[in-house]
Amino acid sequence: MNKIFFFSNNAGKQEEIKTLFKNFRINIFFPEDFKITYEPKEVGNSFANNAKIKSLFGYEKTHIPCFADDSGISIEALGWKPNIMSKRFIDSFKNSTECFNYIIKKTKESGKIKAYFKTSICYTFEKNYHVLFEGKIEGIISEKIKGKNGFGYDPIFLPNGSLKTFGEMTEREKNFHSHRGIAINKLINFLFN
Ligand code: ITT
């Protein structure tokens, strides 16, 4: 197998995936390579279900073994939400700064500072063959918005034991710790061992 399709239109995820696969002899394709501009509705009730909806869709469109990522942040001060609604939650604010300020305020008011990121990666290599890989990283919400790297909630997430938010890390540093790095390393082991 020398081809794999990553079905995601999220530029931040795509960059991380390119770096994680850099040392492996495999060609990675993205939706734009096939001019696929639409996506299936993410109607699943878990990261795993949504990842499977996306990887099956990508496989059916191309017949290339396909993987997809569904991920998000869970925040203690928000009752462990937004979870699978992470994209919709951040998009419901005027901009990401407003969303981050809201989360930081709720965190300070409640004193509940914990948060975690979770990723489910689903790999579909035939119509009815799916394998799931998961990754989770625990941390806290930072007191301030810090860093401009990464995407999504990276500037307010401090992994446990780190002085830098994901937004202050290089891509390599983030991949080393992150939920996505953990899950993708499991997929890489599955593919290449
Ligand atoms: P695709 O479905 O096309 O892959 P998406 O952005 O819609 O892209 P999700 O449905 O998985 O992806 O939404 C996950 C959201 O959670 C994402 O848009 C970010 O806001 C947030 N998120 C996920 N992983 C993250 C990470 O590593 N760093 C920061 N935020 C992240």
Return d(Cα 133, Cα 188) in angstroms, integer: 10
Consecutive H or E run containing 81 = strand 81-82
Is the confidence at residue 127, as pLDDT, over 90?
no
Return d(Cα 145, Cα 164) in angstroms, integer: 11
Candidates 8, 10, 32, 166: which one to mutate for ligand 1, based on the most atoms within 8 Å of Cβ? Answer: 10
What pLDDT band is residue 193 in, cutting at 50, 70 and 90? confident
Is the confidence at residue 41, as pLDDT, over 80?
yes
So which residues are the catalytic ones?
70
Return d(Cα 173, Cα 178) in angstroms, integer: 9
Which tens digit of pLDDT belongs to each residue from 64-106?
A: 999 999 999 999 999 999 999 999 999 999 999 999 999 999 9
Question: Could you say which of 2.60.40.10, 3.40.50.170, 3.90.950.10, 3.40.50.970 is the CATH number of the domain covering 3-192?
Answer: 3.90.950.10
Return d(Cα 48, Cα 57) in angstroms, integer: 14
Candidates 153, 156, 178: which one to mutate for ligand 1, based on the most atoms within 8 Å of Cβ? Answer: 153
Mapped onto helix, strand or coil, the DSSP state of residue 42 is coil
* Residue tagged 């239109």 (tokens): 9
Distances (CA, A) of 37 to 9, 66, 86: 8, 16, 21
- For 162-175, letters b (16+ CB in 10 Å) and e give bebbbbbbebebbb
Q: Whose CA is nearest to atom 10 of ligand 1?
A: 70
Which residue, among 134, 167, 140, 138, has the nearest Cα to 67 in the 3D structure?
Answer: 134
Mean per-residue pLDDT of the chain: 96
Q: Whose CA is nearest to atom 12 of ligand 1?
A: 70
Instruction: Using the mean position of ligand 1's atoms as its centre, give its distance from the Cα of residue 2 in Å.
Output: 27
Q: Whose CA is nearest to atom 17 of ligand 1?
A: 87
* Other CB atoms within 10 Å distance of the CB of residue 103: 25
Instruction: Using the mean position of ligand 1's atoms as its centre, give its distance from the Cα of residue 159 in Å.
Output: 17
Distances (CA, A) of 30 to 111, 116, 171, 186: 41, 27, 19, 20
What's the gap between Cα 177 and its chain centre?
Answer: 13
The reported pLDDT for the residue numbered 62 is 97
What pLDDT band is residue 1 in, cutting at 50, 70 and 90? low
58 lines ligand 1 (CB under 6 A): no
* Residue tagged 């994209």 (tokens): 87
